[in-house]
Each structure stands twice: as C-alpha cells, then as structure tokens.
Amino acid sequence: MNSHFYYLLIDLGCISVPLMASFYGSDKFIHHWSSFFKANIIVATIFIVWDIWFTKIGVWGFNPAYHLTLTIFGLPLEEILFFICIPYACVFTYFALRILLKRDPLRKINHLIIGIFMALGVIFSIVYYDKAYTFWTSITLTILCLFILKEKVNTSYMVLTYLIIFPFFILSNGILTGCCTPEPIVWYNNQENLGIRLGSIPIEDSLYGFVLIISNIILFEIFERKEKQALNCN
C-alpha cells in the first residue's frame, strides 16, 4: 500500500466504528450531530491554530512520506481531520456510556481526579516553563480544570470516557509516532517536551488528549442543553 495513505487510514480507522454505530439505537447519535459539530468546530479551531504555531516553530512536524500532498497552513489535511475524527469517537463513547450505564462508577471521585490533573498542570507549567509542549499543554490543562471546578461542571461519565478511550488514544498516537513504521508519521522535538515516552508517544500527549476530549464533551453538553431548552420553549 502507498505509504502516503497511512495517516488518512489512521483517521478513518478511529472514526469508522463510532460513525457506523451512530445510525443505530432508539436514540441515534446522528440526531445529536448538531451539538457535536458546534462543539467540535470551536475546540478544533483552537487546537488547529495551536498546531500551526507548534509546527512553525518546530515543536513537532509531519513526515511527508506518510501523508497526502494537500496541506493547509503547513498542516497535512489528515492532521486537521484528526481533530474531528478523534473527538467524534470520544463524544460518541461518552454518549453511549450515558445510555448503557445507569450510574457512573467514578461519580464519587470525578472531581478528585480533576483536582489531580489540575495539580499536575500547575506543577508542570511552573517547573518546565522552558519546554513549549510541556508548558502550554500544562497551562491549557490547568485552565480547563479551573473552569470545571469553578463552574461546578458535572464531569460524570467524562473522566470514565477518557479512561476507556485512553488505550485507543495510545494506540493511534503510537502508530503516528513510529511504533509500526520505519520512521514516525508525526515527529516531536524532545527539546520541547520531557523526553518521557509512553511507548513511542511523549507523555504530554496524555494531558493534551485529556484537554481535547473533555473540552469537546463539555461543549457538546452545553449545546445539548441549549437545544433542549429551545425545543421546550417551542
């Protein structure tokens, strides 16, 4: 197979099962696409701007042997699709968990976990201020956790979703960072991160993924409530 399709196949592999499952069930996820895409556009835009900046300054980059030739502001098309495909799979998982599980097994410790993530964000942003990926990921993580705690966001099922998705996130990012290819599809400048790897991915990806996943879910819930309120008013 032509290696230029590898990144695209990873994107499609991540979204394929959730997308197909979205058409099934009494409460089909396709009926909630409006809320998802409104949320996703906001989060994806922020992450894509961040991505463009980090690519430009050499924090990470992309191996042209493994993606299509079309690029947008220096990013491969597949990288932009990443910020749609991964969140789609995550928000669908959250949506499914809400239906399948009557009670969140982590409901009593959700905010404790959020507090731990915030503590990590604060510590890493202070200690590793000179490493761009570590610092900015930690800052965004801290801001997200502060918002959750200040606004008393109901994080029920959100942390559970992250934990369930995490092995798949590691797998997809592992493939991207070279665990299955002679060279990484996405490379990282270790001068800008801690140099600690989970398999082949920088440990910062676990925090970056948390922010990406939880932000999409929070905004999805906000737009869901607004749509329900609009329906009730009518």
> Cα–Cα distance between 149 and 120 in angstroms, integer?
15
Assess whether pLDDT exceeds 70 at residue 151: yes
> Cα–Cα distance between 106 and 156 in angstroms, integer?
7
Number of domains within the chain: 1
**Is the CB of residue 87 less than 8 Å from the CB of residue 43?**
yes
Q: Is 142 inside a domain boundary? A: yes
Tokens coding 165: 């998705």
What's the pLDDT at 74?
Answer: 92
- Taking only the tens place, the pLDDT of each residue in 61-76 is 999 999 999 999 999 9
Q: Is 234 inside a domain boundary? A: no
Q: Is 192 inside a domain boundary? A: yes
> Cα–Cα distance between 53 and 61 in angstroms, integer?
11
Q: Is 189 inside a domain boundary? A: yes
> In which domain, by residue range, is 52 found?
3-229
What's the pLDDT at 179?
Answer: 82
